[in-house]
A = this chain, B = another copy of it.
């Protein structure tokens, strides 16, 4: 998310104000509304050719799959069950209907894998590039949606999987952490959660900002992916740089009490990478104990 996009969201929240009937409003991974006594979750994401994928390099099936998976990841970040999806597609006139079918099958495959049904959509042709927007509805059932804003001072900061270098393949073929999110939300008291799309530091900053806290992360604890190491050889940067700043990992970043963290580590569900602190800012601590304040910057893919 660019600074302009963030400013835009801030402006929307300002002019909208607090709406009591909407328990979770603009600015979280998904919004939340009530039907009878049940919570419904809703999220939407648009994937753009040249921004989130390059249609020259990636098959229609993979584009469809990713569009659905990205939305599933947002529902996962809320610790909820995805249920129904609709899609709307801006479709280049030059592409064939068989291309649209492959796109659809990719979406359907990703949805089915997580018990989600694609129940409607809109396909409209134009002379420009492909854009795929998916809206996903989910429900909390017996659970409570997890917000970004619940992090508490003293919380352990935890992350699933490994981070960095997603541009090599993970950005297109990641598995949304739906199952992990439900397991975590069911069995542990998760204070806050987000999925890593803008990069570890940036997304941790989102949690901190929403919760009014700061964070210290330990560089030697961050689970660095093999692809981050591979990429580092090309870019000349340190692997940890990629783990900190690369986007589109689609792992869950969450905070829990230290006691809960212990149990989660025992079950090998996630890694503890730091601690929520009262002071503003995101700090990186190395094994010698020296601390630097991290620059909070966003990530934009450099394709090519």
A43 contact set on B, CB distance < 8 A: 86, 120
A21 contact set on B, CB distance < 8 A: 117
In the assembled complex, the CB of A20 is this many whole angstroms from the nearest CB of chain B, namely 12
In the assembled complex, the CB of A289 is this many whole angstroms from the nearest CB of chain B, namely 41
Contact A120 B4 (CB under 8 A): no
Contact B44 A119 (CB under 8 A): no
Contact B33 A35 (CB under 8 A): no
Known: A46-B124, A126-B51, A135-B44. A119 touches B26 (CB 8 A): yes
Residue from A11, A19, A119 whose CB has the most chain B CB atoms within 10 Å: A119
Interface residues of A in 17-40 (CB under 8 A from B): 19, 21-22, 25-26, 30-31, 33, 35-38, 40
A254 contact set on B, CB distance < 8 A: none
Known: A11-B101, A44-B86, A44-B88. A5 touches B133 (CB 8 A): no
In the assembled complex, the CB of A112 is this many whole angstroms from the nearest CB of chain B, namely 11
Contact A121 B44 (CB under 8 A): yes
Closest residue on chain B to residue A26 by CB atoms: B120
Contact A128 B127 (CB under 8 A): no
Interface residues of A in 142-200 (CB under 8 A from B): none
Q: Does A125 contact B (CB under 8 A)?
A: yes
Q: Would you list 19 pairs from A and B whose C-beta atoms are within 8 A, ordered by A residue?
A: A8-B123, A9-B123, A11-B101, A21-B117, A22-B119, A26-B120, A31-B86, A31-B120, A36-B38, A42-B119, A44-B121, A46-B122, A46-B124, A48-B126, A52-B124, A86-B135, A88-B133, A128-B128, A131-B133
